[in-house]
Structure 1
Amino acid sequence: MLRKLKWIMLTLLALILGLFLHYNLPQTDIVRIVGTSFRGMDLGWENQWAFSAPESGSNTANSASRDILFIDTVTPSGRPSVFRNEDTAWGWPPYFKFNSFDLQAAAGNLASTAEAPKWVAITHYGWRIQFLTIFPNAIKVRQVESPDVTIIPWGSIIILTVLALLAFLFWRMWAQFHERTIEPAMIEVEEALDAVDARADAAKAQARGTWGRFTAWLGTWRAKPRK
């Protein structure tokens, strides 16, 4: 039961970590920009967590109601895909993005029609969840030659490599700590418990011996049966 519970907890932890990384790591989509806009939104508790802080230098008196920049695109298969364009500033995730207005101008300059398409690689993070009105946040836009261009996710590769190295170092530190500190302490505790059990067994044996001698002594006071 404990082994099964352990694997369930590890699976849940791995799932949470995977979702966290998938949301925050940079991803790149090849799209065609069809327009840019800004729209006023009243953010609620169910989606406010997915939006960044207001742009650096703007009024933050009511961060739940503000204008948000959007980049409207279409994928090579013709599916619409909408990105928000917000500064991350010094917040999370740490992309240190302060150029949302410049990015909006660059995206508008790359807009094109289906007859004369310009294909653009948009680097972003986050998810598109329609029923919660959540959009991925664009980080970078650049024109590419065709929709079939191969994009190597160097950013994600570097981040995952660094995280893997940190996880390995933490595991080695924990293994050494467990071997040098926890295991000797557990051995001492087991030895102490064994000693306590041995003393308890000896005390029980001594008590049984004493009680046996006492009952035998009581037996000598019993009247002998008459002939």
Structure 2
Amino acid sequence: MWTKVKWAFRIIAALFVLGFLHYTLPQHDIVRITNTYNRLTSVGPENSWAYSVPDIGTAESTTTRDIRFIDASYADGGVIVYRNEDTGWIWPPYFKYDSSNLQAEAGNLKSTAEAPKWVVVTHYGWRFPFLSIYPNAVSMREATGPDERIIPWVPVVVIAFLIFLVVMIRRMWAQFWERSVEPVAAEMGETWDGVEAKASGVIGRIRAWLASWRAKK
């Protein structure tokens, strides 16, 4: 039972870490930009975690925000909507302060289906329509085409570093356990064995003494 509980906890922790990394690390889309605009958007308790704080960019109130959006289309006809917000110094650490410039750049890269202009959009976050959550565009550039190969160097480096860090921590913990905990546990075990032996000897002598008194009677 305890083994199942431990594995369930490990799986939940692993899913949480993977979800956090998938949301935070940069992703790349090759799309055709179709529209750019500003829209008043409701930001409430259910989706505020996915938006920047109100004092970054423009804000109408704590629940309604004037947010920039970018509409785009994939080569297969699918569509995606990006928000364009400054991140400032808060998490995730993209230190983005040029959302106005990015909006102007997106407007300049708009194209039609007849004369497509493909763009690589770097973003983070997820798209949840029922919660009005949009990925945040961080940067963009013109692509060589809809089939351009993009190697996600940042996620690769970050994940490799985290794996290295986990392996090093496990090794350090194993060495600490072997050098510090196990000797103390072994010493305590030997001490307890000695106490038990002495107690057994004392109890044995008491029993022998009681037996001698019974024999005299």
TM-score in terms of structure 1 length? 0.87
**What SS does the corresponding residue of 2:176 show, helix, strand or coil?**
helix
Name the residue aligned to 1:2.
2
Measured after TM superposition, the shift of residue 30 of structure 1 is 1.1
- Contact 1:53 1:87 (C-alpha < 8 Å) held by counterparts: no
Q: Deviations over 1:164-203 (max 9, x none)?
A: 2222322222222222212222222222332333233334
**What SS does the corresponding residue of 2:40 show, helix, strand or coil?**
strand
Name the residue aligned to 2:68.
69
Name the residue aligned to 2:199.
200
Q: Distance in 2 between matches of 1:104 and 1:138?
A: 10
Question: Share of identical aligned residues, percent?
Answer: 48
**What SS does the corresponding residue of 2:149 show, helix, strand or coil?**
coil
**What SS does the corresponding residue of 1:215 show, helix, strand or coil?**
helix
- Contact 1:85 1:100 (C-alpha < 8 Å) held by counterparts: yes
Q: Distance in 1 between matches of 2:194 and 2:86?
A: 65
Distance 1:120 1:202, change over 3 A: same
Name the residue aligned to 2:170.
171
Name the residue aligned to 1:21.
21
Measured after TM superposition, the shift of residue 159 of structure 1 is 1.3
> Which range moved further: 157-166 or 31-40?
157-166
Measured after TM superposition, the shift of residue 158 of structure 1 is 1.5
Name the residue aligned to 1:36.
36
> Which range moved further: 96-105 or 154-163?
154-163
Alignment root-mean-square deviation, CA: 2.0
Name the residue aligned to 1:224.
none
Q: Deviations over 1:19-63 (max 9, x none)?
A: 11111111101111110111112211111011122364756x944
Distance 1:30 1:195, change over 3 A: same
Q: Number of paired residues?
A: 217
**What SS does the corresponding residue of 2:141 show, helix, strand or coil?**
strand
Query: Is 2:124 aligned against 1:125?
Result: yes
- Contact 2:29 2:120 (C-alpha < 8 Å) held by counterparts: yes
TM-score in terms of structure 2 length? 0.91
Q: Distance in 2 between matches of 1:28 and 1:55?
A: 28
Name the residue aligned to 2:47.
47
**What SS does the corresponding residue of 1:116 show, helix, strand or coil?**
coil
- Contact 1:55 1:87 (C-alpha < 8 Å) held by counterparts: no
Measured after TM superposition, the shift of residue 98 of structure 1 is 1.0
Measured after TM superposition, the shift of residue 14 of structure 1 is 1.3
Q: Which amino acid aligns with 1:15?
A: L
Q: Which amino acid aligns with 1:85?
A: N
Q: Distance in 1 between matches of 2:97 and 2:166?
A: 31
Q: Distance in 1 between matches of 2:145 and 2:92?
A: 30
Q: Give 5+ residue unaligned stretches, structure 1.
A: 221-227
Q: Distance in 1 between matches of 2:198 and 2:62?
A: 69
Measured after TM superposition, the shift of residue 64 of structure 1 is 3.4
Distance 1:38 1:200, change over 3 A: farther
Q: Distance in 2 between matches of 1:114 and 1:200?
A: 90
Distance 1:58 1:214, change over 3 A: farther
- Contact 1:122 1:138 (C-alpha < 8 Å) held by counterparts: yes
Q: Distance in 2 between matches of 1:25 and 1:37?
A: 26
Name the residue aligned to 2:149.
150
